[in-house]
Amino acid sequence: MRLHPSELYFYHSSAQPIDKQTKAYAKTLTRFVNEIDVINEPITATQWDQILRKLQLRPKDLLNRSHPDYQSQIAGKDWDDEGWLNILVKFPHLIKSPIAIFKNKAILCRTPSDILKLD
């Protein structure tokens, strides 16, 4: 994944209110915000792997474990690394917070103002 240094990549779900607030903060960092709605623009397992490496997180760290889909289809099963990546591909609506990548740094934005840590 090649990233332009002056562009902020914002991976989000348009259905989440926190994502809309975080996007507003993102636009204060740079004029160039590349929005990727993970629900409408599929992310491949390879792309998720690259994002996770930048975040220094595991796939399950991104997931909302209290969501009914997580509880019914994922919880309690034994998944290998590839299985977790495929879960991210198949269930992007389970991502609990938006992800921002800017100037070779990445952050999982648990609160809208977390994105400001990238500046």
pLDDT digits (tens, 9 = 90+) for 35-59: 999 999 999 999 999 999 999 999 9
Contact 24, 116 (CB under 8 A): no
* Number of Cβ within a 10 Å radius of residue 34: 14
User: Mean pLDDT, 10 residues at a time, over the chain (119 residues)?
Assistant: 76 84 92 93 95 96 95 94 96 94 93 93
User: For residue 4, what pLDDT is reported?
Assistant: 65
Nearest alpha carbon to residue 90 among 115, 59, 112, 111: 59
Task: Label residue 87 exposed, middle or buried (CB < 10 Å: 0-12, 13-18, 19+).
Answer: buried
